[in-house]
Amino acid sequence: MLALPKSRKEWTTHERKLSAAALADAAVQALIQEAELTPKPGLVDGRGPGIHKDMDLAMLHESALALRGTFLDTVELACSPASRKDLRAALGVIGRAGEQTMLLATRGINTHRGAIWTLGLLCAGAAILRDGSGCAAAVCAQAGRIAQLPDPYASRLGSHGWSVRCRYGSRGARGEAEDGFPHLIDVALPILHQSRREGATEDQARLNTLIALIAVLEDTCLLYRAGTAGLTAAQSGARKVLDCGGVTTPSGRCALMDLDRCLLRLGISPGGSADLLAGALLLDWIDKEFQPFRGDEIGNFGF
């Protein structure tokens, strides 16, 4: 059995240089890696569109690449001491501009709105922590502090997340961020690292991570489309994959395909879990690459 982690773990870092451009590139690469991972239940992957008949893998690539400037602007803003007072509001402006860039690249299709929020906050958190404390747990805690700040220009009315919160009480991606991304620290990264230690391929380790997130997350994408019944079906199917030992075992792969068929039949996909997988891949990269920023590495944005 591939067991879900029960306790928080602190992650150590290697001392290597990290530039603003490298961090933005890593965020884009995390989105591409998540998109290309196959087979993902209900989601766009190398096999096809999943339930998303208006999307394909090429569109997700275009969307991810189009967002590089958004992530770079986010990092550079977070590195600027002059912006710190109104950081949350300014990040909101960048994020909403990024949404428009995404929609232009995808001809009006929402491919990565949730990921802009998640990866943008993680990029900002990593950028602020230039003092050597940039391990994954510290980055998530810093990102959480940013998420808790008010954005006077934000409007949540009419969004899927707001609708789900009103109907089911789920705090969704906003709550996950405000709490410091506990599912990234307590679930995703431990499963990713455990799977690698046990000999899984990189794709298998990432799939196990996605399945572990589906098993425990109150995914608002599932709730919005199919309510609590859809969420329960997805979580139950994901737990069966884990109970079989994850996707490295024959029974686990069969359970994964059963979950895929279930979600396709219900017309739902775990988009929130996919966004967190991309976040986990970014944090995994940060843990390997993090080094305190220096002014000459980030142009005019250093202290």
Mean pLDDT, 10 residues at a time, the chain of 303 residues: 53 49 97 98 96 96 98 93 77 96 96 96 91 79 94 68 72 91 98 98 98 96 91 97 98 98 97 97 90 38 25
Asked whether residue 302 is domain-assigned, the answer is no
Domain range enclosing 55: 20-294
What integer pLDDT is reported at residue 50 of this predicted model?
96
pTM of the model: 0.88
Asked whether residue 6 is domain-assigned, the answer is no
User: Is residue 39 reached through a cis peptide bond, with omega within 30 degrees of 0 on the bond before it?
Assistant: yes
What integer pLDDT is reported at residue 85 of this predicted model?
67
Asked whether residue 13 is domain-assigned, the answer is no
Asked whether residue 4 is domain-assigned, the answer is no
Asked whether residue 162 is domain-assigned, the answer is yes
What integer pLDDT is reported at residue 295 of this predicted model?
37
Asked whether residue 8 is domain-assigned, the answer is no
What distance in Å separates the CA atoms of residue 61 and residue 295, rounded to the nearest whole number?
32
The backbone region for 14, taken as left when phi is positive above 0, alpha when psi lies in -120 to 50, beta otherwise, is beta
What distance in Å separates the CA atoms of residue 267 and residue 159, rounded to the nearest whole number?
20
Would the CA dihedral through 65, 66, 67, 72 be positive or negative? positive
Measured CA distances, 82 to 21, 46, 92, 252 (Å):
20, 44, 16, 51
Domain count, the chain: 1
Asked whether residue 301 is domain-assigned, the answer is no
What integer pLDDT is reported at residue 158 of this predicted model?
57
What distance in Å separates the CA atoms of residue 287 and residue 13, rounded to the nearest whole number?
5
Q: What is the CATH number of the domain that holds 210?
A: 1.10.4200.10
Asked whether residue 12 is domain-assigned, the answer is no
The 10s digit of each residue's pLDDT in 144-193 is: 999 999 887 776 655 767 677 777 777 888 999 999 999 999 999 999 99
